Amino acid sequence: MGLSFDDLAGEAAVLGVYRQVFAVLARESGAMVLDASSVDVDEAILGSFAEAGPEGLTVDQVVIACARFSGVQVRRRFEVLRDYRAVERVKDRPHELYHRAAFAPYVMLLFLRRIADRGGQAELHQLLTLEHLSVQESDATVEDARGTTHRLSTVFRLLANQLAGLAVGGVVETLRENAQLLWGNHGLLDQANDVHQTVLSRWSMLDRECRALRLAIAAYRDAVDAAAGRLIEQAGATRALGLLPVEAWRTFAREADVGALSDVLNEFLFDAPAPWFAADTLIEAVESAQHTTPVRITPPRPQTEPGSVTEDAVPDAEAERLRALAEQLLGERTQVSVTELIDEIGDWLGGRRLLADLTAMHLHDTLPYELRWSDRLRITLEPSLNWVTEGRFARVAQ
C-alpha cells in the first residue's frame, strides 16, 4: 500500500530536521568537519542571524558580522549550511538576497560543545533516563523495548571496546585523558541494569536482547577495571600523581583512614623551594656585588714578650670595616633579628650584601660577634614570593 500525502509530508519534515542538525558536521557537501574552526565559524554564522532579527541577513552582512574569520571561510561554510537547509531564503524566489537560520543546527552545536567539554558522561546519563522512562510507559510496545535494548547494547559495546583498547596497548596519557569515562560509572551501570530489569520483566520474549545488553554491560565493567588498574599501577610506579583523575583522589581522601593517609608521603623527599628570580637578575646581582681586596697577612714574627705586638704590624682594614658595620647595626642592642635587618634594607641586592657581611663577622676570629640560625622559615607571598630563615646577630662577651 502506498504512502499518503500526509505520510510523505511527515517524512519530508523529519528529513529536513536531520539535514539541519547534521549540517554543522560538514565542511562541504558530503565531507566531515576535520578541525574545530569549522564549528566555530558555523556558530558565529548562526549567532549573527540571532542578532539580526526576523528580517534576516545577506551573505555580505554575515561576512561582516563574522569579521574575526576570513571571508572565504565564512562564505564556504554559509554555502554548506544553505545546502543542508540550515540557512534558508526569507522568501522562496530566485533572486532573494536575505536569509534566515533555523534553530536546530545551533542546538546541535551546543550539544557538541557540551560533549567536548564534559566527555559525554552527562549525556549518557540522560540517555539512560529517557530510555528507562520510555520502556516504563503504559503504551510502550515490544518494538520500543527491542530498540531500547539494542541502542544501549551498542553504546556500552562501543565504550567497552574503546577502553579495552586503551587499557591493553594504548598510551597512558591518552588513557588518562579518557578517564572521565572510567570514574563515576557506577551510576551508569545501575541505570542500565534498571532498564534491563524493566524490559525483561515486561517482555519476557526479549530474553535474547536482554542477554546481549547484560554482556555489553559486563564488557564495559571489565574494561573499566582493566583501565583503572593500569592507571593506578602506572601512577604508583612513577609517582606521577596526575595520572589519576581528581575524583579518585577525592574518594581516597574521604574514605581512607588516618593510617592510609599518613603513609602516602612516607617515601617522598621534598626539596626546599628554589629562589623565584630570573637569570638576568641573578647575573646582575653577582656582577654588582662588592669585590673586596684580599688583605695580605703579615707572616708571624718572634715576639720578645708574650702578648706584645711589633710596631710594624699591619692593621686589619677588613676587620675594622666589619666592626664599624656591626656596631652600626646593633647600636645599643646586644642582639638583633636578621629578618628585621633585611626588611629595613628592602631590596634583594642589599640583603645579599648584608648576609655576606654578617657571615664574615661571625667567622672572623678577632671580632666579638656571632650569627645564629633557627629552624623557622618565613615565607612572604606579596608583592613577590620570598623566604627568609629566621636568625639573630648578637654581640658576645670576650
* Most confident option among 33-37, 86-90, 199-203, 385-389: 199-203
pLDDT at 311 over 50: no
* Phi and psi, residue 369, nearest 5°: -135, 150
Q: At what angle do helices 121-136 and 104-118 cross, to 10 degrees?
A: 120
pLDDT at 116 over 70: no
DSSP 256-323: --HHHHHHTTTT--PPPPPP---HHHHHHHHHTS--PPPPPPPPP---SSTT---TTPPP-HHHHHHH
CATH number, span 5-113: 1.10.10
Nearest of 198, 296, 180, 197 to residue 247 by alpha carbon? 180
* Most confident option among 207-211, 276-280, 305-309: 207-211
Mean pLDDT of the chain: 75
pLDDT, tens digit, 9 for 90 and up, residues 53-85: 778 888 899 899 888 888 888 888 888 888 777
Contact 206, 199 (CB under 8 A): yes
pLDDT score of 29: 46
What whole-number distance in Å separates Cα of residue 44 and Cα of residue 23?
14
Q: At what angle do helices 5-22 and 104-118 cross, to 10 degrees?
A: 50
- Which single residue is written with the C-alpha cell 623565584? 276
What confidence category does residue 189 fall into, taking pLDDT thresholds of 50, 70 and 90? Answer: confident
Check if 5-113 and 279-295+315-395 are the same fold. no
- Which single residue is written with the C-alpha cell 646577630? 393
Q: How many CB atoms lie within 10 A of CB 154?
A: 13
What confidence category does residue 3 fall into, taking pLDDT thresholds of 50, 70 and 90? Answer: low
Contact 155, 215 (CB under 8 A): no
What confidence category does residue 211 fall into, taking pLDDT thresholds of 50, 70 and 90? Answer: very high
pLDDT score of 160: 81
- Domain spans, the chain: 5-113, 119-263, 279-295+315-395
pLDDT score of 215: 92
What is the percentage of the chain residues whose pLDDT exceeds 90? 2
Q: At what angle do helices 142-169 and 186-202 cross, to 10 degrees?
A: 150
The contacts of residue 5 (CB under 8 Å, 6+ apart) are none
What confidence category does residue 310 fall into, taking pLDDT thresholds of 50, 70 and 90? Answer: very low
Q: How many CB atoms lie within 10 A of CB 297?
A: 8
pLDDT at 156 over 70: yes
Q: Which of 50-64, 165-179, 181-195, 383-397 has the lowest mean pLDDT?
A: 165-179
Contact 253, 261 (CB under 8 A): yes
Q: Which of 41-55, 175-189, 190-204 has the lowest mean pLDDT?
A: 175-189
pLDDT score of 333: 87
Topology at the third CATH level for domain 279-295+315-395: Ribosomal Protein S8; Chain: A, domain 1 (3.30.1370)
For residue 66, give the C-alpha cell: 563574522
What whole-number distance in Å separates Cα of residue 192 and Cα of residue 214?
9
Nearest of 144, 158, 223 to residue 185 by alpha carbon? 223
pLDDT at 163 over 60: yes
Q: How many helices (H) and strands (E) does the chain have?
A: 16, 5
What whole-number distance in Å separates Cα of residue 28 and Cα of residue 77?
7
Residue range 311-317: mean pLDDT, rounded = 61
Angle, alpha carbons 217-219-220 (nearest 5°): 65
The contacts of residue 51 (CB under 8 Å, 6+ apart) are 65
Q: Give the three-state DSSP class for 379.
A: strand
The answer to whether the peptide bond before residue 245 is cis (omega within 30 degrees of 0) is no
pLDDT, tens digit, 9 for 90 and up, residues 23-49: 555 544 444 454 556 677 888 888 888
Residue range 204-209: mean pLDDT, rounded = 89
Q: Which of 71-80, 83-92, 235-244, 313-322 has the lowest mean pLDDT?
A: 235-244
The contacts of residue 361 (CB under 8 Å, 6+ apart) are 322, 325, 326, 367, 369, 371, 393
Q: Which of 39-43, 305-309, 363-367 has the lowest mean pLDDT?
A: 305-309
For strand 99-101 and strand 335-337, is the pairing parallel, antiparallel, or unpaired? Answer: unpaired
pLDDT score of 296: 65
pLDDT, tens digit, 9 for 90 and up, residues 255-288: 888 887 777 666 666 555 566 677 777 778 777 7
In the 8-state DSSP scheme, what is residue 57?
A: B
Q: How many CB atoms lie within 10 A of CB 12?
A: 9
pLDDT at 240 over 70: no
Task: State the distance between the two ends of the chain, measured CA to CA, in whole angstroms.
Answer: 120
What whole-number distance in Å separates Cα of residue 269 and Cα of residue 272?
10
Residue range 357-385: mean pLDDT, rounded = 81
pLDDT score of 27: 45
Q: Which of 25-39, 150-164, 208-222 has the lowest mean pLDDT?
A: 25-39
